[in-house]
């Protein structure tokens, strides 16, 4: 969703609610987006329709807001990700399960963050993204810095 631009804005927040209402600040805030126009929402449920909006905050109040975007999440796709790390190399593997939709997974996106826990990734700072083919069920991430914590997140994708 494009972020409305405003000179001197303090921050942008992502708002989300269920279909049938309009997202409002602060009630429906799910993330703060700093320095980037990207947001990955990993906390959605299958067979649910969400309404999103991006709002620009100035001095703690909404000064501008985007139009709404409706996103329907069909069925449920879940993934289980596991890893082992030794000598600067992390070996990851995953499995997926699909319910309520046809199994048309087209690819996976693996996101590595070295700045925040995987559940709170909200900008691309400190991140590395890998696009992997649908037949992949493992990945080796090498050249990692010892004694540093890395978080991984796997997105199961349908389409582009």
Using the 8-state DSSP alphabet, how is residue 104 labeled? -
Chain length of the chain: 160
Give the residue among 70, 87, 67, 65 at the shortest CA–CA distance from 143. 87
Residue 151 clears pLDDT 80, i.e. is over it: yes
pLDDT above 70: percentage of residues in the chain: 81
Spatial distance between the Cα atoms of 151 and 79, rounded to a whole number of angstroms: 15
pLDDT the model gives residue 121 = 44
pLDDT the model gives residue 102 = 56
Q: What is the chain's mean pLDDT, rounded?
A: 81
Q: What angle do CA 30, 114, 85 make, to 5 degrees?
A: 120
Spatial distance between the Cα atoms of 86 and 64, rounded to a whole number of angstroms: 47
pLDDT the model gives residue 119 = 47
pTM of the model: 0.50
Q: How far is CA 120 from the centre of its chain?
A: 8
Give the residue among 128, 129, 141 at the shortest CA–CA distance from 88. 141
Mean pLDDT, residues 87-99: 86
The CA distances from residue 99 to 23, 103, 145, in Å, are 28, 9, 38
Q: What is the pLDDT of residues 104-125, one digit of tens each?
A: 778 889 999 886 444 444 445 5
């Amino acid at each position: 969703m494009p972020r409305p631009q405003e000179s001197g804005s303090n921050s942008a927040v992502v708002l989300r609610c269920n279909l049938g209402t309009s997202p409002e600040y602060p009630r429906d805030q799910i993330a703060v987006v700093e320095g980037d126009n990207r947001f990955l929402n990993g906390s959605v449920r299958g067979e649910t329709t969400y309404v999103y909006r991006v709002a620009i905050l100035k001095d703690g109040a909404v000064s501008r807001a985007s139009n709404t975007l409706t996103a329907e999440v069909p069925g449920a796709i879940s993934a289980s990700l596991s890893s082992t790390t030794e000598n600067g190399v992390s070996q990851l593997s995953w499995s997926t399960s699909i319910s309520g939709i046809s199994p048309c997974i087209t690819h996976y996106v693996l996101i590595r963050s070295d700045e925040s826990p995987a559940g709170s990734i909200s900008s691309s700072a400190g991140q590395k993204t890998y696009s992997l083919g649908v037949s992949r069920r493992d990945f080796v991430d090498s050249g990692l810095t010892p004694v540093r914590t890395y978080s991984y997140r796997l997105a199961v994708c349908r389409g582009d």
